[in-house]
A = this chain, B = another copy of it.
Amino acid sequence: MKQQPFERSKHLYTNEAFTELVKDAVRFFNGTPVHTLPPPESFLGTGVYALYYIGQNSLYKRYAELNRLSYNYPIYVGKAVPKGWRQARSLNQSRELIGRLREHSRSISLGAGLGLDDFMCRFVIFDEDGSDMIGTIEAALIKLNKPLWNTVVDGFGNHDPGSGRYEQAKSDWDVVHSGRAWANKCKGVHIEKNAVIANIQFHLQSLGQPL
C-alpha cells in the first residue's frame, strides 16, 4: 500500500465525553463508604483504592487534620488490575483488590511509626468491561490529589525485588518506615532520612490550601 503523507491531526483523538466519564467515576469513588484497613471482610473484584491517614504521627498530622470531617485527602492511591490482562486471558473473578489492601496492611504493620488504626480506606470495584477503566481512574485520582506516598515518598507499593536484585537502594518509604525485612536486604546507597522528611514537610505545607 502507498505511504500516506503524515498529518498529525489525522492521528489525534479527542472526546469530551471521556472527561465527563472520569469525573463521574471520581465522584462515585469519593462517595463510597470508608472502611478500616484492611476492610472487615473479603470480596471479589479488581479496582482502585485510596488510603487515608488519621493517626498521630507528627510527620503526617496535616493529613489527620484534613481528613477530620471527611475523607478527601488520601496519602496513597493504588490499583489492583485483573491478572493476565496484558496477555488477554479470560478474566476470572479474583480477589486482587482485597489482596492488595491486605498486603498494604502488612507493610503498615511492619513500618516504624505507623499502625493499622492510623488508616482508613476507600475502594471501588470495576467488573468486566469496566476493569479497563482502572488505570484511568487511578491516574485521575493521583493527578487530583497528589497523594504523598505516590508523589514525594517513593516505594510504599513495592514488592520484594527477590534474590539477585538486592543491589538496589532501599526506597524512600522504607527509609522513613523501616521494618520490611526484604527492604533491609537492599544494599544500594539510599536517600538520607532527613532529606525524605524535608520533602514530606514541604509537600504537606501546601496541601489543602486554596490555590
Contacts and interface: CB of A to CB of B under 8 A. Distances in A.
A182 to B, nearest CB: 16
B136 A132 contact: yes
B3 A35 contact: yes
A124 interface: yes
Given A10-B33, A32-B11, A21 B24 contact: no
Interface string A154-175: 0000000000110100000000
A126 B129 CA distance: 21
B86 A34 contact: no
Interface in A29-47: 29, 32-36, 39-41, 43-45, 47
Interface stretch (A56-64, A105-113, A139-147): A139-147
A130 B151 CA distance: 21
A133 interface: yes
Interface residues of A, number: 60
Given A10-B32, A33-B10, A33-B11, A88 B142 contact: yes
Given A3-B36, A129-B18, A150 B12 contact: no
B146 A6 contact: no
A14 B127 contact: yes
A20 B138 CA distance: 20
A101 to B, nearest CB: 12
A135 interface: yes
Nearest to A41: B6
A202 interface: no
Contacts of A13: 25, 28-29, 47, 124-126, 130, 133
10 contacts: A4-B33, A7-B33, A8-B44, A10-B32, A10-B33, A12-B124, A13-B126, A17-B21, A132-B136, A135-B135
